[in-house]
Amino acid sequence: MIDNFLGRISGFWHAVIGRLFYSSPYDVKIKIRSVRRIYVEVDRATQSFRKKVGLGCPDRCGHCCANSNVETTVLEMLPLAEELLRRGEAEAWWQETENRDFPGQCVFYIPDEGEQNQGRCGVYALRPLICRMFGYTGNKDKYGRIRLVACNVMKKLLPHVLEEALHRVDIGKDQPPVMADVIMRTSMLDPELTKESIAINTAFRKAVERMWLSRRYRE
Ligand code: SF4
């Protein structure tokens, strides 16, 4: 499979891609380490915000994951692609994305039997930013004030807690991490691999292909 993929790229493009890839100030390992560091910081910030305002996802809620429109960038899927390559599972998951409709539900979502909206993430530690921040992130209005972006499930199940959280953010008492600021940090690591948000399965697929290329040029 990997040979099929690499075989489709001509010698000329091998040279161009190799040169582009390695002329970057960051090589792929450093980028992955940097993305992982951002994940740790974002987790700390969201956990601290959640604790302060008392917000939390309902147990086994899978509404976000069951949605077929989860999007992310290729860069954010590199840590997962690297880990699955290390475990020897990347090719099977790459194939799984081919078998699914695009954009399609995330291949890593494990729904409970007979209940699409309940389940769990199969790659929790290496999930991308949107999965870490959804429900606990802010955006900035035209005056630069931070506003909490509310989750519909929490709106229904925790209306009073959410109302209080929205108020505390509005008056500047508590501050959720701002998605645009985090995205800016990742885009500085690699403008090319963050230039667009695409369906999560496609982003994963491209991340695995990028890792295959990276390995090929290291050989
Ligand atoms: S990576 Fe995990 S948290 Fe994100 S959509 Fe897929 S299953 Fe859900």
Domain borders along the chain are 27-212
Q: Give pLDDT tens digits along the chain (219 positions).
A: 655 555 555 555 555 555 555 445 458 999 999 999 999 999 999 999 999 999 999 999 999 999 989 999 999 999 999 999 999 999 999 999 988 765 689 999 999 999 999 999 999 999 999 999 999 999 999 999 999 998 999 999 999 999 999 999 999 999 999 999 999 999 999 999 999 999 999 999 999 999 998 887 765
pLDDT in tens, 23-38: 454 589 999 999 999 9
CA of 56 to the centre of ligand 1 (A): 17
Q: Given this model, what pLDDT does residue 98 score?
A: 84
- Closest by CA to 169, choosing from 131, 137, 215, is 137
CA of 210 to the centre of ligand 1 (A): 20
178 lines ligand 1 (CB under 6 A): no
* Residues near 89 by beta carbon (within 8 Å), at least 6 away in sequence: none
Reported pTM: 0.86
Tokens (6 digits) for 214: 């990276």
pLDDT in tens, 102-114: 568 999 999 999 9
The ligand 1 atom nearest the CA atom of 109: 7
Give me the torsion for CA of 146, 167, 70, 207, rounded to 10°: 40
Mean pLDDT of the chain, nearest integer:
89
pLDDT in tens, 198-215: 999 999 999 999 999 888
